[in-house]
A = this chain, B = another copy of it.
Amino acid sequence: MSDVRIAPIAETLPEFLEKHQFSAVAVLVDYHTQKFCYPLVKNWLSKHTIIRIKAGEEYKHLHTCETIWEALTNANFDRHGLLLNLGGGVIGDMGGFCAATYKRGIAFAQIPTTLLAQVDASVGGKLGIDFHGFKNHIGVFKLPETVLIDPVFLQTLPERELRSGFAEVIKHCLIADAAKWDEIRRRDLTEQNLSELVAHSVAVKQRVVEQDPTEKGLRKILNFGHTLGHAVETYFLAQPRKRLLHGEAIAVGMVTEAFLAHQKKMIDATLLAEIEEYIFSVYGKVNLTGADVEPIVALTLQDKKNQGKQVRMALLDGPGRCAFDIPVTRAEMRQALDYYRG
């Protein structure tokens, strides 16, 4: 299991660098993290290379990887170098993938700067990039040397980004901690204790990943909300004006998949109503038309958790509990999306 530290970066970063002897250090940033986060990090680094890529999921592809590999090559990076991924999920997933494949693998560390990356992407070793419109289609499992989480970075985030990351916090409560769900659902986002919730989410995720690092079984519960959620996210990726942030799409996924769990008598009407009400209060309702339903359902066929042509989902199995590998038909998915629209 990788070492996750939740503490000021001024404490954890120098400590980490001192413990290892890296032959070189590069920092991967985008425009935003170079401006807002890099100043908090650079003081603790000696000589290093900055690799800057364009911000956003639409650049999480092979071509950007080539840029990163080229930069490492030009800096004469050997196998004993370190890549510090300073940013959100895109930076962490793609930087991690590039490090894991450069000269068959160099060390990398994650410094997640968004709420989403702190509570989800940085923990668990899933690395990858999108390919031909499919999310995280090419990648590997590999744990970073360390994950350094500093809540101070959350202050640099726009409110919409924070809200997006909060969807994974909600998910972790729903699948693993009924009492915590009961606590958060009574408060608006602005009233939450985020530092405490980050630690809670990381603990839930680590506990699950530790038992099943390569997602053969249990780890699949972390995908609650993500089968339809990913499909919705991918679908709107092609429509710049309607594009959703990851958590906004997952919010749609959690409502529709909670509906499916209720249909399959896995959760009662009270829990479904609670989930709907809270998620709509935080995220509002995404405008889905009848014409959107079929292409979204079709996109679920490429989900990595499927077996053959059968879509399988992680569905809630009571408050704070989740089951996985539940077969769901296309008709059921259509019904769930229509329910969301109604």
Interface residues of A (CB under 8 A from B): 23-24, 62, 66, 69-70, 73, 76, 78-80, 100-105, 126-128, 131-132, 134, 136-141, 214, 301-302, 304-309
Contacts and interface: CB of A to CB of B under 8 A. Distances in A.
A70 to B, nearest CB: 7
Given A78-B307, A80-B307, A131-B69, A140 B104 contact: yes
Given A103-B304, A140-B140, A132 B78 contact: no
Contact of A105 (B23, B137, B141, B309): B141
A140 B70 contact: no
A76 B128 contact: no
Nearest to A216: B79
Contact of A23 (B100, B302, B307): B307
Q: How many copies does the complex hold?
A: 2
Contacts of A309: 76
A234 to B, nearest CB: 13
Contacts of A139: 101, 103-104
B80 A137 contact: no
18 contacts: A23-B308, A69-B138, A73-B132, A73-B137, A73-B302, A78-B304, A100-B140, A101-B138, A101-B139, A101-B140, A102-B138, A103-B137, A104-B126, A104-B127, A104-B128, A104-B141, A105-B140, A105-B214
Contacts of A66: 62
A215 to B, nearest CB: 8
Contact of A104 (B24, B73, B132, B304): B304
Most chain B beta carbons < 10 A, residue from A23, A103, A132: A103
Contacts of A62: 62, 66
A66 B305 CA distance: 22
Nearest to A104: B139
B132 A70 contact: yes
A217 to B, nearest CB: 13
A73 B131 contact: yes
A62 to B, nearest CB: 7
Nearest to A125: B104
Contacts of A302: 73, 76
A76 B301 CA distance: 8
Identify the 10 closest CB pairs spanning chains A and B, nearest first: A104-B139, A103-B304, A101-B138, A23-B308, A78-B306, A104-B141, A104-B140, A101-B140, A78-B307, A79-B304
Contacts of A308: 23-24, 78, 80
Contacts of A76: 301-302, 309
